[in-house]
Chain A
Amino acid sequence: MEWETVIGLEVHVQLLTKSKLFSGSSTRFGAEPNTQACAVDIALPGVLPVMNKEAARMAVKFGLAVGATINRRSVFARKNYFYPDLPKGYQISQYELPVVQLGRLVIDVDGERKEIGITRAHLEEDAGKSLHEEFEGLTGIDLNRAGTPLLEIVSEPDMRSAREAVAYLKKLHVLVRYLGICDGNMQEGSFRCDANVSVRPKGQHAFGTRAELKNINSFRFVEKAIEYEIARQIDLIEGGGKVVQETRLYDSVRNETRSMRSKEEAHDYRYFPDPDLLPLQLEAGFIEETAKSLPELPDAKRERFVREYGLTAYDAEVLTGAHEMADYYEAAVGAAPGQSKLTANWVIGDLSGYLNRDNLEVAAAPVTADMLAGLIRRIADNTISGKIAKEIFEAMWGGEGDADAVIEKKGLRQITDGSAIERAIEDIMARNPKQLEQYRCGQEKLFGFFVGQVMKATQGKANPAQVNELLRKKLSGTPA
């Protein structure tokens, strides 16, 4: 039988507010345990939550970016359950009336565009962390994270493969970073994903029973976890079994999913509107003002790069994958007019390579956009060859100054004086009579040997095009 996979994703995006969703504590990551938890966060008797307006602004930004409805009135509810890292015994979340509803995101898989619906995005507070490892049979509780604002983004079950799911997730990841509402750091848990996965016989309209996969914290694991789960469900059904609705934990070490709790064991969260908080009311002016503050979004930027800079769709996609990279590119092109393609190659190639090698963010690159543009201008005006440029780039990366300074210091100016190149050629021909003989007898592949010798003699500074042209003439014996 042929099977069809149905996937919906729930993504928890940690918002980049300075303080928590309902208290003034800092949200900074990595502080000593329980040093960023105030009376409200640890739920002392008598304390009350106060909504952080900045979190609402970020949620609205997201909603506008995915073309969603922004609910002018949304309601905070309590989700009740007991757990030691949940100090109040309930999580404040939005339930019936979320701030964002009905948006969409367009993904591109193998050149095919597909729209993925976004059911809703709601604000909620994070729980603390239970630390089971370091306390020898006891559990440590760190409440620094308790109360950190999250935007939970719930998709429609519109994805039909693990690859589509990853494409959606990546798209979302780029978007929230563009919007400046999330740092996207998956290791630190700033961007977390749960996946609802089910299978059904191809052609069947009704959904199969779904499993919810938790704890998948990288793009690679999302793909692997879903692939594993699809195979598990198909095997199960084909073997005469039935998929049960349950929550499953992904184990990335063993690459498998394991049952965490079944539907019967599921909590009854007893949601009800939080009486400590008034409904979140957003004024039209607030939404308009937020709309004005939206940056250019990834899709628009990509299309503009193709249009404005004549880039291929692929190059534009890569360059707009992170707004910092796109900004870098635009700054470099601005300082090296007319060199958009060459600049794109450098940014995608050498710059990205060095950044990866040194594990640096583009903002921390030792070669600034201006410096790269300086280098590109020297390639364009034939001062240096592409090959020498790589050597200069490395020197710039190492802190030896801008392109002109390196060229000057190292004497890397390209030799474009035809007579100087001719002299070098003649010298080499004189010193290699045997090879010259063979070449002239038809062994044309020796041409490369002569190019190499000339470049070596000129320490790579000879203009390669000129070297080629002059060599051909000289070697064939025709008068120059």
Chain B
Amino acid sequence: MALERSDLTPPGGGGEPAERPVLVIGAGINGLASAAYLARAGRRVLVLEGRNRLGGMAASVRLDDGPVVSECAHLVTALHPDVMSELGLYRHGLRFSHRRLPTMLLKPGTTLALSEDPWEAEAAIAEIAPGDARAYRRFLELVRRFHEALDPLIANPPARLGGDEAALNEAAHLLGARIGRVSERDFAALATMLAAPVAEVLDGYFASPFLKGGLAFDGVIGAFAAPSWNGTFLSFLQRRFASVSGRWGACGHPAGGLGALADAFWNAARANGAELRLNARVSRIAVDGDRVAGVVLTTGEEIAADIVVSTLHPHATFLELVGARHVDVGFAEDLAHLESRGSVARLTFVIEGLPRLGTHQDEPAPAGRFVIAPDLGYLERALTPAKFGATPAEPAVEFAIPSVHDASMQHEGRHIVTALALHAPLRAAETDETRAAFADAVTQTITRVMPDFRRRVRRAEVLMPRDIEERFGARGGHWHHIDLVPDQAWCLRPHARAAAYRGPLDGLYLAGASSHPWGGVSGLPGRGAAFAILKDRGWG
């Protein structure tokens, strides 16, 4: 298929006989999304992946002689519907083992199931906090209206600052056009809440500490933040602004784990002729004057290219691969100071049989996304030790038992529990002891709401933030590469001089989680970078 493609004359490409491929560094979701969009537009694309498998942090891996499980990311929450439909991911083999996992908030003695069906969720809330049931509907309504107002900003490229008056005006126009349609009261709410602490917003709606803690969890997961910190409501919205089921707030699990999602992206790219090389680690991005010339692999092999798309952290892209001497001193200094403090540990437990919820002892645990964050203070306390490299006594935990709905993960009567725990410290190094101690704290936390959990655990694997950094090359083990905070969002993401997917070097594009709008398996940065290339080259 690749051969057929190269025989075509590139539309508007100047008619060179053999078009040099666009090089994409990293076969994570964003790299694959970029490749798929570029290939779909008829461009030659070569994806270079340093590891021996696809997917980056959205990969699946076989536990030795056991089942295949998600390696890092474990649920799909933020995959943008435009990406799904434009790339035809279902056509390319994507199957969900569950598309509407309810979020179940757990604490000893209480389970609150927040179904994606608002009526069901309201009824469940009414049982534990009658006053909050109506407020929940008003809150969901607010989130929906926020989404309506903001989605065009999320799915379109951000403005670029610095003298580019036309682009800025265009962005202001877009913003103004949206805002003009928002009612006055909504506007006030939007302006006040956009950078607000998630705790402040939830305090305005709900009385139940339990409900507030569970909802606030989504505002701090993946970020080094406490719910009282500015910007955490934006992180919360990031998790609510997409849905694989079309209903806000539900999350999904691909059959075969997150690697299956990466496969679907890759299939979409391959179907249009994109090529992929695994075990091809880039050691350098070659620069000719102020434009890219290609890449050099660790093997010494050189690949020439006019366009390079990097999905890596900007620190890696500019300071390690390009080299500080090719970028401006001030820019290099800013990149060196970009904070990437990962704070989530990923755990995989192999358990014997299915555990039971403490509140439902007579039936095995249902399918769901379980959240242990019983109140706002709990989340605040979980961050405090991590600031100084210590482990919280009571981590906040999100976990799922994918083998309940994905039979491929059941193995000889054993089930799989995948968990994310915060806040895990980013320490200089981890040892088997520090990992085991953290796994024990998480086991203990889960056992409080599932009394038979600990005795069923046969095996526990832990990836601390430092482990995630080492395994996936994500600086600091940070999911979004850098926190999603107002001074690192939109036209400032990851930096005013590297916003809108373009850096200071001609031909070098940024498509990682640190590009607009965010990571979290959304596919949007990859899509945005591909569109930027097509626009710049007139390949639309």
Q: Do A and B bind each other?
A: no
Which residues of A does B touch, CB under 8 Å?
none
